[in-house]
Each structure stands twice: as structure tokens, then as C-alpha cells.
Amino acid sequence: MDAIDVILTKREGGKLTPEQIDWVIDAYTRGAVAEEQMSSLAMAILLNGMTREEVARWTEAMIRSGERMEWSGLDRPTTDKHSTGGVGDKITLPLAPLVAACGAAVPQLSGRGLGHTGGTLDKLESIPGWRASLEPDGMLDVLRRTGAVICAAGSGLAPADRKLYALRDVTGTVESIPLIASSIMSKKIAEGTGALVLDVKVGSGAFMKTTASARELAETMVGIGVDHGVRTVALLTAMDRPLGRAVGNALEVAESVQVLAGGGPPDVVELTLTLAREMLAAAGLSDRDPADALRDGSAMDVWRRMISAQGGDPDASLPVARESHVVTAPAAGVLTRLDAYGVGVAAWRLGAGRARKEDPVSFGAGVVCHAVPGDEVAAGQPLLTLYADDDTRFARALESLDGAIEVEPGGTPDLLPLVIDRIS
């Protein structure tokens, strides 16, 4: 086949054949299709879309570009969760051990943060000794011993996606829903889980800003899962304000431990339990109530075993930033707006995130929210505390909060519901 023919087919709004898709993914992975040619094809897909059949085949071709994991040796069903990312989204941390405590196995492959959205691996790496890299045999060992594992994807998992993702990032084609969906689902299906729950974020702090675009992405991903024999459901959840009170690596680990200990912010607890129930139902364990595993301490037990199994010390002190700065309420009234994007950018500029994949992060940096939208506040009351290792970072972080905070006398916040919709 010829790359030009494939590009022209999609440029003219045509449907790619299975043979064209198989060939172009394989050839691009091998280097036989040039970067500029795949860039043109990605732009044509962005502009003209793909049918469900095309997306399913594209995903399958990316899966076949590498290894596929399988967990048939486990004595329990597998189930996993994927979030499209947001501000303060630490749900994976309490969720994986919670679901494992209820009888499922959770093989969770996670990533690192980029820009204003945090990464699960960065958060866990703030725990002294914890390691993200495990070989497949190591993953299986941790799963057998603890029921849950959270680690980085190996280089052999969907290498076509890794190469295409990097290309999309520099060619203005990140927003293509077929390419987003196939990127996420190729890795999750290759991971070998039997069931999958998707948490698709909606709002200013999310990649998908509107409910309509989030629903389109969710429906596309659910369709891919179903077409590949993976029980898949998606929830659309709010990201117009930060999730929980803590935004930053070690800060979010501490808040996750609070949830596992039976406390924590109500929204984090609610979403953790909601996703846990979906994961257990998808795994055929709907008779288990995850709230019981929080109350009786069994979820915390799994957390401690899981962290220890990956070299971490669950009792070690977490990193603390050297400097802090308090942001106070400008007036008395109701906090009507605490914009997720503004808070996320502030945390990023404080050192909690990275601009490039190779950049380091500060584990202690971030933001703690002392009030949430709907709270009554007094003039001068602390609203946020900013943490950084270098106090020169505060000025830029404060710039990102300009317009992100609104306090109105007698005001009412206009917020999305925490769980907006369910797609199955």
C-alpha cells in the first residue's frame, strides 16, 4: 500500500478499509511511514472523523503493535478505571485498594502529569521508596499478594500509540475524539482487564470542556470496549471546581489516606464509592458494598500492602514544601466560584506539575483549598494555601488565580453535579 492513498482517502471524507488501517499503523510503527505523512493523516482524521468500525479497527491495530497482558492465573476477576484527568483527581489512590478489598483484582496502569492536570505516578512517587516501574511478572506478583497494583505502562504495550501520541502533541491534532478514544482504549485493552469503568471529566479543569464533547468521547470509548469484548461503562463527572481540598502530589496522597481511614472530603468519598460500585458490578461482584471496606479498615490494609509491595514505606513522612503563601477572601459572602483550571495552573506553576515530560516535579508543592463553592466566608478568611519550594514561584501562581475566585453576598454557585451522566 501507499501512505498517500491512505491520506487521500481520509482527506476526501472516505472510510478507511481494515487493510489500510492495519498497514498504516504497522508501517508507521516500523518507520516506513514518515512523520509528516502520519501528521497529515491525523489532521484528516481530526477534520473528517471516523466511523465506529474504523475506530475499533484502528484501536485493534495499535494493540497488535505490541504485547497484550493477561491475568488468567489470578483467582479473582479483573476490573480497572481510567480517568481523563483533572485538578485534584486523586481517586485512583483510594479506589484501587478499595475495590481489591472487595474481591476484585485491579491492574492499574497509570501515567504522569503534564500541564495543569496531575499524574497518578507523580503522586505515588512522593512516598519514599515507592517505584512505578514493574515488569509484567512483577505486576502479577503484586496483584497476587495484594489484589491491586498501580504502575507505569511498559514500553512493549501499544508502542504505536506512544509514537502517535507524541506526534499529535506537536501537530495540533490532540483534540481528535477518535484518536483520543483509541489512544486510551488501546492501552487499557492491551492491559488485559476484563472490565473497565471510564471517568470522563467535564469542565474548565478537564480536557473536555462541555458535556456534549465529553459524552461523545465517552460513547466512542464505550463502543470500542464493547467491540473488543471488554465490559465497559463511563461516567461523566464534574471538573469545573477542584476535586477534594488538596491539589499537588504529596498533598493528594495525604488526602487519599484520609479517605481510606474513613474521613476525607465528601466529594472524593462519594466519587470513590460510586466508581467502586461500578467497577465491582462490571466484575460481577455487585453484592459487595465498598463502604464496608472503608469502615472496617480492610481497604487501608490493602493500601499499605500495595505500597509496601512496590518498595514504598506507608508510614514514612511525606515531602513538605519549604514555603507557603495564604490567599484570603476579598470580601464577606458566599464562595460562588473556585475555577478548577485556575487552581490547576497555580499548582503547576508552584512546581507540582511539568511543562515537558522530562521536567522534574516538586512533591511538596501544590494548593490546599480551605473553602469550596457554596461555603460562607468572611473577609480576610483564608481560602487557599499555596506551597512551593521557592517563594519566587508565588507571583506567577497568583496570576493564574486572577478571576478564578468569586465571592458574592448571598450568591449561589452554578455548579455541575458531581456525577452528570452514565454511559453504557
Q: Are 97 and 279 in contact (CB under 8 A)?
A: no
C-alpha span between 200 and 238 (Å, rounded): 9
Identify the active-site residue in 80, 89, 161, 267. 161
Please, is 392 exposed, middle or buried when counting C-beta atoms within 10 Å of its C-beta (0-12, 13-18, 19+)?
A: exposed
C-alpha span between 243 and 84 (Å, rounded): 13
C-alpha span between 223 and 354 (Å, rounded): 33
Q: Are 276 and 95 in contact (CB under 8 A)?
A: yes
Cell 475524539 appears where? 177
Identify the active-site residue in 176, 182, 183, 256. 183
Read off the C-alpha cell for 28.
508507521
Helices 136-146 and 298-309: crossing angle, nearest 10°? 150
Q: Do the bridges between strand 106-110 and strand 231-238 make them parallel or antiparallel, or are there none, so unpaired?
A: unpaired
Q: List the one residue out of 308, 314, 303, 336 whose CA is nearest residue 409.
A: 336
Which residue type, as a one-letter code, is found at position 8?
Answer: L
Read off the C-alpha cell for 422.
452514565
Catalytic status, residue 277: no
Catalytic status, residue 183: yes
Identify the active-site residue in 187, 231, 304, 393. 187
Please, is 13 exposed, middle or buried when counting C-beta atoms within 10 Å of its C-beta (0-12, 13-18, 19+)?
A: exposed
Catalytic status, residue 122: no
Q: Are 152 and 132 in contact (CB under 8 A)?
A: yes
Catalytic status, residue 424: no
Identify the active-site residue in 168, 245, 288, 305. 168
Catalytic status, residue 227: no
Catalytic site residues? 82, 161, 168, 183, 187
